[in-house]
Amino acid sequence: MKIAIGTDHAGYRYKEMIKAHLESLGHEVRDFGCFSEEAADYPAFIQPVARAVQAHEYERGIVLGGSGNGEAIAANRFTGVRCALCWNEETATLSRAHNDANALSIGARMIPEELALRIVDVWLATPFEGGRHERRIRMLDNL
């Protein structure tokens, strides 16, 4: 799978860990930054991820920050991007199964590293259920 990833300084360490994990699983990952723990404004790194997902250059996007809230908001400003802020495996499952989320936001200051990796794995493995959920997705995509 082709996955775009980006973060601000607060999520840098988790981004590096997740990127290495994804590459070890054979995924193609493009890192849009940031590239250190030096203070950085998240929109500069989240917007390129969202644009890449919006343009279908990448199948999925992962964005990170301290809480993940701002990053999800920034990504969701792009038509066709459905970014879900997930804090456990259940929210990751539901974001894919019911909302066909094509972007994932994680708050690096909110959850332990091991849980972040489990969330990523569950989110990538969960298919969209379709059916009754498809109408909602079409409505979201046309906002």
Fold designation for 2-141? Ribose 5-phosphate Isomerase B; Chain: A, (3.40.1400)
3-state SS of the chain is CEEEEEECHHHHHHHHHHHHHHHHCCCEEEECCCCCCCCCCCHHHHHHHHHHHHCCCCCEEEEEECCCHHHHHHHCCCCCCCEEECCCHHHHHHHHHCCCCCEEEEECCCCCHHHHHHHHHHHHHCCCCCHHHHHHHHHHHCC
Q: Just list the catalytic residues.
A: 71, 98
Which contacts of 82-85 are long-range, i.e. CB under 8 A and separated by 24 or more positions? 82/137, 82/140, 82/141, 83/50
Q: Would you state the pLDDT for residue 143? A: 65
Residue ranges covered by each domain of the chain: 2-141
**pLDDT by residue, tens only, the chain of 143 residues:** 999 999 999 999 999 999 999 999 999 999 999 999 999 999 999 999 999 999 999 999 999 999 999 999 999 999 999 999 999 999 999 999 999 999 999 999 999 999 999 999 999 999 999 877 777 777 777 66
CB-based contact 124:1 (threshold 8 Å): yes
